[in-house]
Amino acid sequence: MYRPGHYGVALALYSPISFLLVAGGLADRALVGGIALLAMTMLPDLDSKTERVRHRGPTHSLAFAAAVGLVAGVVGGLLAGPWFAGFGASMGLLAVVAHLVADVLTPMGIRPFWPVSDRHYTLDLTLSSDSAANYLLFVGGSVLCGGAWFLGGLY
């Protein structure tokens, strides 16, 4: 997937969390979480910026998701305290998992269990370059997250 598709999947997966935060009176934290999530969602594609790491290799794995979560948790904790350590870790993990979910929709798929297994997973539903699919995911995720935010505000 391209950036819009990745953002849409991330927003869709973030929707229940944003609902709970907004409903709990923590709209400011919901906003910070959403921004952090979107900022980290494209991290797995850093592998395309170098020839040293195969695209959709180690950076497209649950191990990488855990590493990003750990770093985001440490940064969140150092910048804003213990609550943000856990929240940052959750957002880092979710950002990479959302990226993996979007990429599993494509024929190229992913190998999420690297380094334990090299097994390939794909749903082969759409090409990464399909503009309609990317924007459909983006609009769908935006609507879900916006709706969750709105409904959370009703509580």
Torsion of CA 31, 137, 102, 15, to 10 degrees: 30
pLDDT value of residue 51: 86
pLDDT value of residue 155: 85
pLDDT value of residue 53: 85
User: 121 φ, ψ to 5°?
Assistant: -125, 135
Which residues lie below 8 Å from residue 148, measured CB to CB, with a gap of 6+?
15, 16, 18, 19, 22
pLDDT value of residue 54: 84
Q: Helix (H, G, I), strand (E, B), or coil: what is residue 19?
A: helix
Encoded tokens for 110: 């992913």
Tens of pLDDT, residue by residue over 53-112, are 888 999 999 999 999 999 999 999 999 999 999 999 999 999 999 999 999 999 999 999
Look at residues 42, 41, 45 and name the one whose alpha carbon lies nearest to residue 55: 45
Tens of pLDDT, residue by residue over 8-40, are 999 999 999 999 999 999 999 999 999 999 999
CB 70 within 8 A of CB 80: no
